[in-house]
Amino acid sequence: MLFLSHALPEDNEFTRWLALRLAREGYPVWCDLTKLLGGEDFWSDIEEAIRNRTTKFLFVLSRTSNEKPGVLQELALAKRVGKGREDFVIPLKIDNLASDETTIELTRLNSIDFRGGWVAGLAKLLEKLEKDGVPKDPRFNAAAVATWWQDNLYSGQAVIARSEPQACNLFPIRSLPQRIFLHSLLGEKKKPDPLPLGYPSHRFGAGVFSFQTPRELIQALEPMGITVEES
Protein backbone atom coordinates (compact mmCIF):
# COMPACT_ATOMS: atom_id res chain seq x y z
CA MET A 1 0.00 0.00 0.00
CA LEU A 2 0.89 3.67 -0.31
CA PHE A 3 0.57 5.06 3.21
CA LEU A 4 -0.57 8.70 3.26
CA SER A 5 0.41 10.45 6.47
CA HIS A 6 -0.98 13.94 7.06
CA ALA A 7 -2.08 16.48 9.66
CA LEU A 8 -5.71 15.97 10.61
CA PRO A 9 -7.83 18.00 9.86
CA GLU A 10 -5.64 20.82 8.53
CA ASP A 11 -4.36 18.97 5.45
CA ASN A 12 -7.48 16.91 4.76
CA GLU A 13 -8.43 18.62 1.51
CA PHE A 14 -5.13 17.95 -0.21
CA THR A 15 -4.76 14.45 1.23
CA ARG A 16 -8.24 13.34 0.16
CA TRP A 17 -7.65 14.71 -3.34
CA LEU A 18 -4.30 12.94 -3.63
CA ALA A 19 -5.64 9.63 -2.29
CA LEU A 20 -8.46 9.61 -4.85
CA ARG A 21 -6.14 10.54 -7.71
CA LEU A 22 -3.64 7.82 -6.80
CA ALA A 23 -6.44 5.25 -6.45
CA ARG A 24 -7.78 6.27 -9.86
CA GLU A 25 -4.34 5.47 -11.30
CA GLY A 26 -4.55 1.98 -9.76
CA TYR A 27 -2.36 2.43 -6.69
CA PRO A 28 -3.62 0.94 -3.41
CA VAL A 29 -3.83 3.78 -0.90
CA TRP A 30 -3.98 3.56 2.90
CA CYS A 31 -5.56 6.78 4.16
CA ASP A 32 -7.81 7.47 7.12
CA LEU A 33 -9.98 9.72 4.93
CA THR A 34 -10.77 7.07 2.30
CA LYS A 35 -11.37 3.88 4.27
CA LEU A 36 -12.29 0.83 2.16
CA LEU A 37 -11.85 2.80 -1.06
CA GLY A 38 -10.85 -0.26 -3.05
CA GLY A 39 -12.83 -2.77 -1.01
CA GLU A 40 -9.77 -3.75 1.02
CA ASP A 41 -9.76 -4.27 4.77
CA PHE A 42 -9.00 -1.06 6.64
CA TRP A 43 -6.31 -1.53 9.22
CA SER A 44 -7.05 0.29 12.46
CA ASP A 45 -3.56 -0.49 13.74
CA ILE A 46 -1.42 2.17 12.06
CA GLU A 47 1.87 0.68 13.23
CA GLU A 48 0.97 -2.70 11.73
CA ALA A 49 -0.02 -1.01 8.48
CA ILE A 50 3.29 0.84 8.23
CA ARG A 51 5.40 -2.20 9.15
CA ASN A 52 3.68 -4.88 7.05
CA ARG A 53 1.56 -3.23 4.35
CA THR A 54 3.45 -0.12 3.24
CA THR A 55 5.59 0.03 0.11
CA LYS A 56 5.95 3.84 0.13
CA PHE A 57 5.30 6.21 3.03
CA LEU A 58 4.03 9.51 1.60
CA PHE A 59 4.38 12.29 4.16
CA VAL A 60 2.26 15.40 3.46
CA LEU A 61 4.69 18.06 4.61
CA SER A 62 3.15 21.33 5.79
CA ARG A 63 3.64 23.84 8.56
CA THR A 64 1.11 21.88 10.60
CA SER A 65 2.37 18.33 10.02
CA ASN A 66 5.93 19.55 10.65
CA GLU A 67 5.00 20.11 14.30
CA LYS A 68 2.08 17.77 15.03
CA PRO A 69 3.15 15.00 17.45
CA GLY A 70 0.94 12.20 16.09
CA VAL A 71 2.08 12.67 12.50
CA LEU A 72 5.72 12.96 13.53
CA GLN A 73 5.41 9.67 15.43
CA GLU A 74 4.22 7.98 12.23
CA LEU A 75 7.15 9.55 10.38
CA ALA A 76 9.67 8.36 12.97
CA LEU A 77 8.29 4.81 12.74
CA ALA A 78 8.43 4.93 8.94
CA LYS A 79 12.05 6.06 9.06
CA ARG A 80 12.92 3.01 11.21
CA VAL A 81 10.90 0.62 9.03
CA GLY A 82 12.39 1.99 5.84
CA LYS A 83 15.99 1.99 6.98
CA GLY A 84 18.09 0.63 4.17
CA ARG A 85 15.25 0.94 1.64
CA GLU A 86 15.74 3.64 -0.97
CA ASP A 87 13.10 6.40 -0.95
CA PHE A 88 10.74 4.53 1.37
CA VAL A 89 9.69 7.87 2.86
CA ILE A 90 8.74 10.54 0.31
CA PRO A 91 7.89 14.04 1.63
CA LEU A 92 5.27 15.95 -0.35
CA LYS A 93 5.71 19.70 0.10
CA ILE A 94 2.41 21.60 0.00
CA ASP A 95 3.06 25.02 1.56
CA ASN A 96 5.76 27.61 2.25
CA LEU A 97 7.49 25.80 5.12
CA ALA A 98 11.14 26.89 4.97
CA SER A 99 13.80 24.24 4.49
CA ASP A 100 15.67 25.28 7.63
CA GLU A 101 12.48 24.82 9.67
CA THR A 102 11.73 21.30 8.40
CA THR A 103 11.87 18.46 10.91
CA ILE A 104 15.22 16.74 11.18
CA GLU A 105 13.53 13.43 10.28
CA LEU A 106 13.26 14.63 6.68
CA THR A 107 16.78 15.97 6.29
CA ARG A 108 18.40 14.83 3.02
CA LEU A 109 15.30 12.96 1.84
CA ASN A 110 14.18 13.40 -1.75
CA SER A 111 10.89 15.30 -1.80
CA ILE A 112 8.23 16.15 -4.36
CA ASP A 113 7.03 19.74 -4.60
CA PHE A 114 3.29 20.37 -4.91
CA ARG A 115 3.56 24.10 -4.20
CA GLY A 116 3.57 25.03 -7.89
CA GLY A 117 0.28 23.17 -8.43
CA TRP A 118 -1.27 19.93 -7.26
CA VAL A 119 -1.59 18.49 -10.77
CA ALA A 120 2.08 19.20 -11.56
CA GLY A 121 3.13 17.61 -8.27
CA LEU A 122 0.97 14.56 -8.94
CA ALA A 123 2.63 14.07 -12.32
CA LYS A 124 6.06 14.02 -10.65
CA LEU A 125 4.86 11.59 -7.97
CA LEU A 126 3.34 9.20 -10.53
CA GLU A 127 6.61 9.30 -12.47
CA LYS A 128 8.50 8.41 -9.29
CA LEU A 129 6.15 5.53 -8.40
CA GLU A 130 6.42 4.15 -11.94
CA LYS A 131 10.21 4.43 -11.90
CA ASP A 132 10.42 2.59 -8.55
CA GLY A 133 8.14 -0.19 -9.75
CA VAL A 134 5.43 0.32 -7.11
CA PRO A 135 2.78 -2.36 -7.78
CA LYS A 136 -0.82 -1.55 -8.57
CA ASP A 137 -4.02 -3.25 -7.40
CA PRO A 138 -6.96 -3.85 -9.78
CA ARG A 139 -9.42 -3.07 -6.98
CA PHE A 140 -8.25 0.54 -7.14
CA ASN A 141 -9.59 2.14 -10.31
CA ALA A 142 -11.80 4.93 -11.64
CA ALA A 143 -14.98 2.97 -10.88
CA ALA A 144 -13.95 2.43 -7.24
CA VAL A 145 -13.22 6.14 -6.87
CA ALA A 146 -16.59 7.08 -8.39
CA THR A 147 -18.42 4.69 -6.06
CA TRP A 148 -16.57 6.02 -3.04
CA TRP A 149 -17.36 9.60 -4.07
CA GLN A 150 -21.06 8.85 -4.46
CA ASP A 151 -21.25 7.06 -1.11
CA ASN A 152 -19.15 9.46 0.94
CA LEU A 153 -19.14 12.94 -0.52
CA TYR A 154 -21.74 13.47 -3.20
CA SER A 155 -24.79 13.30 -0.97
CA GLY A 156 -24.93 16.59 0.88
CA GLN A 157 -21.23 17.33 1.31
CA ALA A 158 -19.62 17.99 -2.06
CA VAL A 159 -22.29 20.41 -3.29
CA ILE A 160 -23.95 22.73 -0.79
CA ALA A 161 -27.10 24.58 -1.87
CA ARG A 162 -27.01 28.05 -0.34
CA SER A 163 -27.13 31.64 -1.47
CA GLU A 164 -24.05 33.84 -1.38
CA PRO A 165 -23.29 37.45 -2.37
CA GLN A 166 -21.66 38.05 -5.72
CA ALA A 167 -19.84 41.25 -6.61
CA CYS A 168 -20.71 42.65 -10.02
CA ASN A 169 -19.66 45.75 -11.95
CA LEU A 170 -22.66 45.75 -14.31
CA PHE A 171 -25.01 48.72 -14.16
CA PRO A 172 -28.57 48.92 -15.51
CA ILE A 173 -29.16 50.93 -18.73
CA ARG A 174 -32.12 53.19 -17.98
CA SER A 175 -32.34 54.64 -21.51
CA LEU A 176 -30.51 54.52 -24.86
CA PRO A 177 -29.30 57.57 -26.86
CA GLN A 178 -31.65 58.51 -29.66
CA ARG A 179 -28.93 59.69 -32.05
CA ILE A 180 -25.29 59.03 -32.82
CA PHE A 181 -23.12 61.63 -34.59
CA LEU A 182 -20.18 61.36 -36.98
CA HIS A 183 -18.17 64.56 -36.61
CA SER A 184 -15.44 65.70 -38.97
CA LEU A 185 -12.44 67.21 -37.19
CA LEU A 186 -10.33 69.97 -38.70
CA GLY A 187 -7.16 71.60 -37.47
CA GLU A 188 -5.57 68.61 -35.71
CA LYS A 189 -1.80 68.85 -35.64
CA LYS A 190 -1.63 65.24 -34.57
CA LYS A 191 -4.18 62.58 -33.96
CA PRO A 192 -5.01 62.42 -30.24
CA ASP A 193 -5.99 58.87 -29.41
CA PRO A 194 -8.25 58.70 -27.56
CA LEU A 195 -9.83 62.15 -27.54
CA PRO A 196 -10.12 63.60 -24.02
CA LEU A 197 -13.88 64.05 -24.23
CA GLY A 198 -15.15 62.48 -21.05
CA TYR A 199 -17.78 60.69 -23.17
CA PRO A 200 -17.71 57.43 -25.15
CA SER A 201 -16.27 58.04 -28.63
CA HIS A 202 -14.66 56.14 -31.49
CA ARG A 203 -12.19 57.53 -34.01
CA PHE A 204 -13.06 56.94 -37.64
CA GLY A 205 -10.57 58.28 -40.20
CA ALA A 206 -10.38 62.06 -39.73
CA GLY A 207 -13.60 62.07 -37.76
CA VAL A 208 -15.10 60.71 -34.60
CA PHE A 209 -18.31 58.90 -33.67
CA SER A 210 -19.91 60.25 -30.53
CA PHE A 211 -23.23 60.64 -28.75
CA GLN A 212 -22.31 64.29 -28.11
CA THR A 213 -24.02 66.99 -30.13
CA PRO A 214 -21.83 69.31 -32.25
CA ARG A 215 -22.25 72.07 -29.64
CA GLU A 216 -21.06 69.79 -26.82
CA LEU A 217 -18.13 68.53 -28.86
CA ILE A 218 -17.09 72.04 -29.90
CA GLN A 219 -16.96 73.14 -26.28
CA ALA A 220 -14.74 70.14 -25.47
CA LEU A 221 -12.32 70.52 -28.41
CA GLU A 222 -12.08 74.29 -28.97
CA PRO A 223 -9.39 74.70 -26.27
CA MET A 224 -7.30 72.23 -28.29
CA GLY A 225 -7.69 74.24 -31.51
CA ILE A 226 -9.79 71.54 -33.20
CA THR A 227 -12.78 72.58 -35.33
CA VAL A 228 -15.83 70.32 -35.47
CA GLU A 229 -18.04 69.92 -38.55
CA GLU A 230 -21.12 67.74 -38.28
CA SER A 231 -21.88 65.41 -41.15
pLDDT tens digits for range 85-110? 999 999 999 999 998 899 988 988 88
164 lies in some domain:
no
Judge whether residue 190 has pLDDT over 60. Answer: no
Give residue 32's pLDDT.
86
Q: What is the DSSP string of 142-190?
A: HHHHHHHHIIIIITTTSS------------------S--EEEEEE--SS
Judge whether residue 38 has pLDDT over 70. Answer: no
CA distance 92 to 202: 55
81 lies in some domain:
yes
Question: Do residue 40 and residue 80 come from a single domain?
Answer: yes
Look at residue 27 and give its three-state secondary structure: coil
Question: Do residue 18 and residue 116 come from a single domain?
Answer: yes
Give residue 159's pLDDT.
65
Question: Do residue 203 and residue 148 come from a single domain?
Answer: no
64 lies in some domain:
yes
Give residue 135's pLDDT.
95
Considering only the C-alpha atoms of the chain, give the largest distance between any 2 of them, rounded to a whole number of Å.
Answer: 90
Question: Do residue 114 and residue 204 come from a single domain?
Answer: no
Q: What distance lies between CA 162 and its chain's CA centroid?
A: 23
Its pTM stands at 0.66
State which residues form the domain around 224.
181-230
Which of 154, 170, 205 terminates a domain? The answer is 154
Question: For the domain that residue 130 is a member of, what is the CATH number?
Answer: 3.40.50.10140
The residue among 145, 176, 22, 150 whose CA lies nearest residue 92 is 22
Judge whether residue 192 has pLDDT over 60. Answer: no
Domains contained in the chain, number = 2
Judge whether residue 160 has pLDDT over 60. Answer: yes
